[in-house]
């Protein structure tokens, strides 16, 4: 059977699934340098990571026995999928297991932002009782704009509707009728941007979405908008956001992600009206177990020669293997 390398503190349940299928599992904690990662991959047929490890084209080229890379989570921007496809390495992810965790964290950020909860806790612990400094706003009756109505965006929309918010969304890949079933009004990007009292970002990081929330886009937003980002930090131009916070055009931001991670020096951390958490969207016990099991099951399927449910480059890899066989 095959050898599988597990990194980034993927939950132990992944190893249990793989071992029950007869595979040998090596678990490594801590960050590995690219050179150490290549050494550890020698003889491995599969690699499982979260978001910390960067699976670059160079790493993939040096891992000659590797046939599948699994991401215990949704986003695969830390994996060079194009290079993997060229080299005949299958890439799978686990997009379902952390949906509820990410959606709940988004709502937690939104509520904390609306009611200044972290700031109020901080001043009270510092010995100051400052009720008047923390006048908040209600979510009921406000317009929530959602960019990206996939699994997480949809889960956020359902919960926001329960809080009596009006929900607008932009997603070119979702049908109007599907959005309507979730109580969401599907509209244009421009309409969402200019109408939202709260704007929540749930887009993947791609060439098109990198820097999408630019100075021009922020300027088109409603004055006093509050921005929540639990997707990818690079989607927002952080310098432009800082300027909008300084001017008051953006009333506040709640961010679970930053353009560079880990990071404790971002200028955004200096704003009293900004809440930042260290990429906790999927950090619940339930979610970590679910994505670990989900990705491990797909690794087992792939190593058996079958198509996993969430194979991102199955056709490309099959095409490469067919070409090499000619």
Catalytic positions, written as ranges:
232, 261, 279
Residue 138 backbone zone (phi > 0: left; psi -120 to 50: alpha; other: beta): beta
Q: How many CA atoms lie within 13 A of 47 on its CB side?
A: 30
Residues with Cβ within 8 Å of 248's Cβ and at least 6 positions away in sequence, in order, are: 223, 224
C-alpha–C-alpha distance, residues 64 and 257, integer Å = 33
Tokens of 108: 């937690």
C-alpha–C-alpha distance, residues 190 and 258, integer Å = 24
C-alpha–C-alpha distance, residues 268 and 60, integer Å = 35
Nearest to 199 by CA among 109, 259, 279: 109
CA 178 to chain centre: 23
Three-class SS state of 48: strand
Phi, psi torsion values for 11, nearest 5 degrees: -55, 145
DSSP string across 296-326: HHHHHHHHTTS--TTBSSHHHHHHHHHHHH-
The residues with which 47 forms a beta bridge, in sequence order, are: 5, 69
C-alpha–C-alpha distance, residues 102 and 159, integer Å = 12
C-alpha–C-alpha distance, residues 193 and 172, integer Å = 15
The residues with which 70 forms a beta bridge, in sequence order, are: 48, 92
Which H or E run contains 199? strand 198-201
Q: Supply the Cα-derived Rg of the chain in whole angstroms.
A: 21
């Amino acid at each position: 059977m095959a050898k599988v390398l597990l990194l980034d503190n993927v939950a132990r349940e992944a190893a249990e699934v793989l071992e029950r299928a007869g595979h040998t599992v090596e678990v490594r904690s801590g960050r590995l340098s690219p050179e150490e990662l290549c050494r550890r991959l020698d003889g491995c047929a599969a690699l499982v990571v979260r978001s910390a490890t960067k699976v670059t084209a160079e790493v993939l080229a040096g891992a000659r026995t590797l046939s599948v890379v699994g991401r215990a989570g949704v986003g695969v921007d830390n994996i060079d999928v194009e290079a993997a496809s060229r080299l005949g390495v299958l890439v799978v992810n686990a997009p379902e297991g952390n949906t509820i965790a990410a959606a709940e964290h988004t709502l937690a950020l939104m509520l904390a932002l609306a009611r200044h909860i972290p700031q109020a806790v901080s001043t009270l612990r510092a010995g100051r009782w400052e009720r008047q400094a923390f006048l908040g706003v209600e979510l009921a009756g406000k317009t929530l704009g959602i960019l990206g109505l996939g699994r997480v965006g949809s889960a956020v929309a359902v919960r926001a509707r329960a809080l009596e918010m009006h929900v607008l969304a932009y997603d070119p890949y979702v049908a109007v009728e599907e959005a309507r079933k979730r109580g969401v009004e599907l509209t244009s990007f421009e309409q969402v941007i200019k109408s939202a009292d709260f704007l929540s970002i749930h887009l993947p990081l791609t060439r098109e979405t990198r820097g999408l929330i630019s100075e021009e886009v922020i300027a088109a937003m409603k004055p006093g908008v509050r921005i929540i980002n639990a997707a990818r930090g690079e989607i927002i131009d952080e310098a432009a956001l800082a300027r909008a916070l300084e001017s008051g055009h953006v009333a506040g931001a709640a961010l679970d992600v930053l353009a560079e991670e880990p990071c404790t020096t971002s200028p955004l951390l200096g704003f009293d009206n900004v809440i930042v958490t260290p990429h906790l969207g999927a950090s619940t016990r339930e979610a970590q177990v679910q994505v670990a099991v989900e990705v491990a099951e797909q690794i087992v399927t792939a190593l058996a020669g079958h198509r996993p449910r969430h194979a991102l480059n199955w056709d490309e890899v099959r095409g490469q293997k067919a070409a090499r066989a000619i």
